[in-house]
Amino acid sequence: MSMPSLVSDCHGTFRSCWILAFCIAASSSTYGAEASSQQSGADSEHGTVVAKFLGQYCTQCHDATTADGEREFETFSLPIKSEQHLITANEIIDQLTLRNMPPIDEDQPTDKQRLTVINALRGSVQDARTQFESSGGRTVMRRLSNREYVNTLATLFDRRVDTLGLTADFPKEETSQQMDNIGKSLVTSGFLLDQYFAAANRLVETRLGKPAMKPKSWHFTDNFRQYEELSGPHRTVFKYEYLCLYEQPNTDTRQGGYGHIEDFLEGVPVSGLYDIEVNVQAMHRDTHYDPKIFRIDFSEPFQLAIVPGDATKGHIHYPQAIEPILASAVVPDDQPEWLSFRVWLEAGQTPRFIFPNGPYESRASVITTNKRYKDEFKNPKVGVSRTSLLREGALPHIKIGEIKVHGPIEEPGGGKEELAVFGKKGFQEDRAIEQLYAFAKRAYRRPLNERDQQRIETLYNKRLADQATPRQAALDTVKMMLCSPSFLYLSEITPEDQSELQSYDLASRLSYALWSAPPDDELFAVAESGRLTDTDELKKQVLRLLNDPRSDEFVNGFLDSWLNLRNIGDLPPPRKSAWEYYAQNLPESMKQEARLFFRSLLDENGSVIDFLDADYTFVDKNLANLYRLPERETLRLADGFQRVSLAGNKQRGGLMGMAGVLTVSANGVETSPVTRGVWVLGNLMGMPPPPPPDEVPAIEPDVSGATSIRERLSIHSTDQTCYVCHRNIDPHGHALESFDPIGRWRSKYPEPKGKKPAPKVDPTGKFPSGETYQDFESFKQVLVKTRLDLFTRTLIEKLLTYSTGRHMERTDQFEIEDILERTKAENYGLQSLVTEVLTSKTFRSR
């Protein structure tokens, strides 16, 4: 492995490492040029050198009997003749280059010895390239992931489909090393096939088979019932004349988080666009009660949002599986005003109203207010009593007095779905087969063959023979297409004897890599012309797709997989100690920071060095508060996310300073250098440590504070079996102990029980290669100076895995090295790197 070409910046303890790395890079380029007549002798000489080195420095711990860290070198020899030996050679190169091996407390080889062995191993690896390239991995024909399935349907029908919750009952998708699009993991069961049939039927009948209906109007002015403990006060004080929202929906108590229309539980009669008008007012945003009781920022205007509800799917006043936000607006303070929204509702859905930035856990705030301000009420009551608060007090809430619903709104051409499936003139009986062929071509993402056409025509005619109307026969045929393997799978039409993908297959792979959706008309046309296999044209299309807003799907999907951001929330922190995590919906802000950071580097071709350390990031008001940045005083929620400077800030910068990464690498309750160290090694350095042996017990986090986690690790690692792995894992996690489980900066651990003082965080560490750091900032500097190429190589591998739908194998390393070298020539630019990945031989191969 070559190191960053920053020799001029090296000094002190890093100097010899940089000189060594520079020599490695220079010498390796000449090794492969040796004449074949000299090869046999070179192999023998190199084999002797490597065998002698391993015998002197390695096999005492890594022989066939001991095999520390599950690594055995006793049977390793040159030349490389098996894939396992190729794996072993690369691992030895990495460990020697990073100076991780031999351990710092063992006898050390000279730089010349290291260089000679690394040179011999790299040469042998290069010589093995021809041997292993031809048997390299192929992408398993895979089905669409649930995420891609929904995006594909939304593209084909030109309308969001998340309101239908088509995948809500699908089996939970298996990920493979955090990736959700790996072919071998995307299995198809009989149950899933049944779900595909049900989803296709529901989508087509709901959107295209719905009965024609003239717009209708509903007007609701009373009977605004609210359930459970809200019902009594509302009957007593308001006589059900107002619908009130008291808290955000993301709470445990769920009292007043969802406002529904009691007289509209049956919902809208057909799917369509509906105009909703709400007469609404923000009440008591200027309350004199202590703002800390409600845990919200009263300087921010109250917000109202609409989500769908279905009374047949569970409690209408509790969270439901299908509730995407349909629309939102700021609520006026001074007097009731009409707010208007146009939203899409499915048949049977009723609009529900939520208070996204409302008080946190209304029940607790009511109890506290009753107790602290009891002298202000005529008949004070202790406990959960809203009656006095509503009649005499100043309880913050949103009050709705009237609601109007009108629809379905007539759309030109019969609606987006009609135009998307049948074209500008809608369904035409005399052109039905032609129209179905056109849709199938888009759905299958390739030209139709004779067999495709025969199936379509046969089914259409069969449904006609069964007395179906021509339109219904066409709709049933569309359902069949949506259950076809040609739709559900990224199947390939490239001949088996060709290793490189042909145009149509390459177009689909590219569009799903960057858009998680089918090719658009331009990409399909380029594929149809045959020009897409030309590297210059492919690069042109890569850049076009990246510059399209639809590439946000790539940013979101890749970061969810690479950084495992989709798992934020799986281990949530305690509500008492991290209430802002819930009250401010921090998980969404955490994800957005990483997305905007990645997007910025992608658009500006910024250096991937910034992933390890940067003097800027992107925050909204909530993250600015969490990070204690100066911008917390000036940012408003309406400002959204802003790029902010971190110059001089030693507590943030790069991925490892982001709350999302710090949250997903913790367990929700407490942190561990082991957990975060494993995360950094696996996700950023591409060196996941092996799992601990079965006989080694797990280290319990020191939640009591009786001893520090570092002391526990020190004791744990005295066992030689544990030490082999922990010497490499722990240094990658100690610096991150400066952050709590949701990424807040800290210098001490939580106060322990009893009278013992809170232990101080010790963020210092030492890598096996000898480099030391004193804090989070110097930790990042070590990574940039000594492990930049390792990180970049890992990023390349992750991108190749995500974009091809298969894990990279050792035989892919040659292409990865080539991409790395080209990326370095472009100053480590992220856009350059992504473009190299998506025009590489690996990406273009079956």
H/E stretch holding 480: helix 470-482
Long-range contacts of 661-666 (CB under 8 A, 24+ apart): 661/563, 661/594, 661/743, 662/736, 662/739, 662/741, 662/742, 662/743, 663/568, 663/587, 663/590, 663/741, 663/742, 663/743, 664/563, 664/564, 664/565, 664/567, 664/568, 665/736, 666/571, 666/740, 666/741, 666/742
Handedness of CA 763, 767, 768, 771 (dihedral sign): negative
Residue 723's pLDDT is what? 62
SS3 call for 373 = coil
Residue 749 has which token pair? 């651990």
Residue 28's pLDDT is what? 38
What DSSP assignment string belongs to 611-672? HH--SEEEE-HHHHHHHT-GGGGT--GGG--EEEE-TT-SS--SGGGSHHHHHHTS-SS---
Q: Which residues contact 662 (CB under 8 A, 6 or more apart)?
A: 656, 676, 736, 739, 741, 742, 743
Lowest mean pLDDT among 115-124, 209-218, 310-319: 115-124
Q: How far apart are CA 835 and CA 846, in angstroms?
A: 19
How high does pLDDT run on average in the chain? 87
Residues in the chain: 846
Q: Which residues contact 211 (CB under 8 A, 6 or more apart)?
A: 270
Whole-model pTM: value is: 0.83
Residue 713, CA distances (Å) to 463, 475, 716, 723, 733 in order:
70, 64, 5, 10, 12
Q: Which among 441, 434, 481 has a CA at the least distance from the CA of 459?
A: 481
Under the banding of pLDDT at 50, 70 and 90, the label for residue 739 is very high
In the chain, the N- to C-terminal Cα span, in Å, equals 28
Residue 843, CA distances (Å) to 15, 259, 491 in order:
38, 50, 15
Burial class (CB in 10 A: 0-12, 13-18, 19+), 647: exposed
Judged against a pLDDT cut of 60, whether residue 696 lies above it is answered with no
Judged against a pLDDT cut of 70, whether residue 732 lies above it is answered with yes
Judged against a pLDDT cut of 80, whether residue 91 lies above it is answered with no
| CATH topology assigned to domain 216-409 | Jelly Rolls (2.60.120)
Residue 196's pLDDT is what? 95
Q: What is the pLDDT of residues 506-547, one digit of tens each?
A: 999 999 999 999 999 999 999 999 999 999 999 999 999 999
Q: What percent of the chain has pLDDT over 70?
A: 86
Other CB atoms within 10 A of residue 380 CB:
14
Residue 10's pLDDT is what? 36
Q: Where are the domains of the chain?
A: 7-133, 216-409, 565-782
Q: How far apart are CA 703 and CA 709, in angstroms?
A: 9
Under the banding of pLDDT at 50, 70 and 90, the label for residue 76 is confident
Residue type, 12: G
